[in-house]
Structure 1
Amino acid sequence: MRKNDTEVTSFILLGFTNRDDILVGLFIIFLLIYVFTLLGNICIIAVTLFNDGLNKPMYFFLGNLAFLDILYSTVIAPKMLSTFLMKDKSITYSACVVQMFLFATLITSESVLLAIMAYDRYLAICNPLRYPAIMTTRFCAWLVCGAYLNGLFQSLFHTCFTFHLTFCKTEISYFFCDMPPLLKLSCTDTTVNEMILFTFCGFNEGGSALVVIVSYFFIIASLIKIRSGHGRSKATSTCLSHFVVFTLYYGSLFFIYLRPAGSRSMETDRVASVVYTVAIPMLNPIIYSLRNSDFKMTFQKLLSWKCSLL
């Protein structure tokens, strides 16, 4: 990708703070979160792959969610962790391009995937008789592929428009390369970029959130009609975990990407971005495993089987 007459060859990630006395503490905290994120999501993938009892659409989508969480945490965390300990906080121009492209691809794909998971729960609870005929293995695969392709297309579009700007500054008041902080470094007019960012994010995140909200409206209406206390409790437990992720994830995305450029503050954006880049990937394994009895039973059996082999 061309730099369009700019001589910038690298950027400087300023990170969270310039206070040297707390950098080591922050490094340890975020390192532990990253390790827990990897282990938790790898466990979800392992359990869903190696147990035929969980060969269901819900767990297929959950495995893909864990896969995306691992990838986009890894896109951000290693470089972020290095800025806590190293004096050189620079990131090359090309590495910044790659990081933003991969992050935008994965975060956009996850937004659509969460909407797909809400639609899956709607069908399972509100149309249980038609559910097996609709959510076939082939259809589930097409839905996930569509989420990934949508992420790739939108990310390519954003990346091309962002890095065809001329940059006059090199210090990014952020801990990774993202669109809003990069637009602030440009000395050219970014009105078109802001419009593209708002339009695409509004369509993708707004559309995905609408699917989730409508799905849960019908799910709640259906749950009220369930007479069995056990059936209502199980369905509510499963859906509650998804709704918690939805609220945290989309809330932080709306706050950062769908606000007018003039009202943005990098300090508050950094805090909000921690929610969907650090907290959500770590919380997903906890929320989905602890709120799902089938998953907990399968995980316990897997642990017992491994212990017996030792």
Structure 2
Amino acid sequence: MGASNASTTSDFTLVGLFSYTGPHLTLFFLVATMFTAGLLGNTILILLIATDSRLHTPMYFLLSQLSLLDVGFPLVTIPKMVADFLQGENTITLWGCATQMFFLMLMGVSEGVLLSLMSYDRYVAVCHPLHYQVLMRGQVCVVMVGASWFSGALVASIQTSITLQFPYCASHTVDHFCELPALLKLSCADTSAYELALSVSGVLILLLPLSLIFTSYGHVLGAVLRMHSAEARHKAFTTCSSHVAVVGLFYGAAVFMYMVPGSYHSPQQDNVVSLFYSLITPTLNPLIYSLRNREVRMALVKAMGRADFRAKR
């Protein structure tokens, strides 16, 4: 298709998830409730880890970064979606769309790498407990977190800059979020070579961290089964099962969205999956960790006790 068929407007139309009907209004309030609960839960978890000295450990430092990513993920998309619904507008500029796509990739890639590093932390804690303080010292944790954020920023910068080079046709309709697969479908140019490159990079971005996670938790499972103490076995299994649950939620949606060819899933399925990893997973993560980790529950009770004491004074 020639360049003459490219659209002259730089605005995109975001197909709204909500409409002014009963079921959609119910969905709107459900999304708003989950968005608020997710922000509140992750913010509380970050504050607890920062203020309670018992949570100043490598595992909880990495968990605070996961919560920070889970605060950012829904902020990239949900406020815009809600504002469009309330104002009756559904347009976004090209640069606004590029910004949304950049931060979605930044958060997504960073979280994927961080989850793999968290699995390594559990591997060291369970399989090499005597060397844990050395292998997971403060400098190492900072490097881990820096690597996760840097990898996310690098991938997002490259993918966004390349995507902006393509011409876009008269149809500028995007389903809900400005994501890379959705924008490529609107391009007038032949994107097959780029899509092939994306598939190859997807192996590195998704499957390499996932293989590290499987390897780490495979060793952890073997070590847990060999433990003689039932209490130690239960504690290790409880902590690691929380991590595995988060990994399953995040990577299940990411693999479906970016590794499964577009011909095998419909736009409606893409919409559900996008909403899943941009809203549902960030909301569930703090619940999974706080309900299953005794240290977090104790820190929360302690913080509530201090707040109650100050209120009575």
TM range (shorter): over 0.9
**Amino acid of the residue matched to residue 58 of structure 2?**
P
What is the correspondence of 1:43-58 to structure 2 with a 5 Å cutoff? Answer: 43-58=44-59
Range 276-285 or range 193-202, more displaced: 193-202
**Contact 1:23–1:84 (CA<8 Å) still a contact in 2?**
no
* Counterpart-to-counterpart distance in 2, 1:220 and 1:10: 51
Residues 227-275 of structure 1 show CA distances to partners (whole Å, capped at 9, x for unaligned) of: 1111111111101111011111101111110122333421111112222
| Secondary structure of the corresponding residue to residue 83 of structure 1 | helix
| Secondary structure of the corresponding residue to residue 130 of structure 2 | coil
* Counterpart-to-counterpart distance in 2, 1:141 and 1:35: 29
- What is the TM-score when the length of structure 1 is the normalising length? 0.95
Q: Which residue of 2 aligns with 1:203?
A: 204
| Secondary structure of the corresponding residue to residue 129 of structure 2 | coil
**Amino acid of the residue matched to residue 152 of structure 1?**
A
Range 209-218 or range 262-271, more displaced: 262-271
Q: Which residue of 1 aligns with 2:216?
A: 215
Percent sequence identity over aligned pairs? 33
Quote how far apart the aligned CAs of 1:25 are. 1.9
Are 2:263 and 1:262 equivalent residues in the alignment? yes
Q: Which residue of 2 aligns with 1:227?
A: 228
* Counterpart-to-counterpart distance in 2, 1:8 and 1:259: 31
Point out where structure 1 has 5 or more consecutive residues left out of the alignment: none
Residues 203-231 of structure 1 show CA distances to partners (whole Å, capped at 9, x for unaligned) of: 11111111110011000000001111111
Are 2:134 and 1:133 equivalent residues in the alignment? yes
**Amino acid of the residue matched to residue 98 of structure 2?**
V
Are 2:173 and 1:171 equivalent residues in the alignment? yes
**Contact 1:12–1:90 (CA<8 Å) still a contact in 2?**
yes
* Counterpart-to-counterpart distance in 1, 2:259 and 2:97: 22
Quote how far apart the aligned CAs of 1:281 are. 0.3
* Counterpart-to-counterpart distance in 1, 2:51 and 2:302: 12
Quote how far apart the aligned CAs of 1:201 are. 2.1
- What is the TM-score when the length of structure 2 is the normalising length? 0.94
| Secondary structure of the corresponding residue to residue 62 of structure 2 | helix
Residues 65-102 of structure 1 show CA distances to partners (whole Å, capped at 9, x for unaligned) of: 00011012101110122233332111111111111111
Range 213-222 or range 181-190, more displaced: 181-190
Point out where structure 2 has 5 or more consecutive residues left out of the alignment: none
What is the correspondence of 1:144-163 to structure 2 with a 5 Å cutoff? Answer: 144-163=145-164
Q: Which residue of 2 aligns with 1:308?
A: 309
| Secondary structure of the corresponding residue to residue 17 of structure 2 | coil
What is the correspondence of 1:1-310 to structure 2 with a 5 Å cutoff? Answer: 7-16=8-17, 20-168=21-169, 169-172=171-174, 174-310=175-311
The count of corresponding residues between Structure 1 and Structure 2 is 307
* Counterpart-to-counterpart distance in 1, 2:26 and 2:92: 23
Shift in alpha-carbon separation, 1:163–1:136, aligned structure 2, 3 A: same
| Secondary structure of the corresponding residue to residue 13 of structure 2 | strand
Residues 259-295 of structure 1 show CA distances to partners (whole Å, capped at 9, x for unaligned) of: 2233342111111222211111000110001110111
**Contact 2:110–2:152 (CA<8 Å) still a contact in 1?**
yes
* Counterpart-to-counterpart distance in 1, 2:85 and 2:31: 10
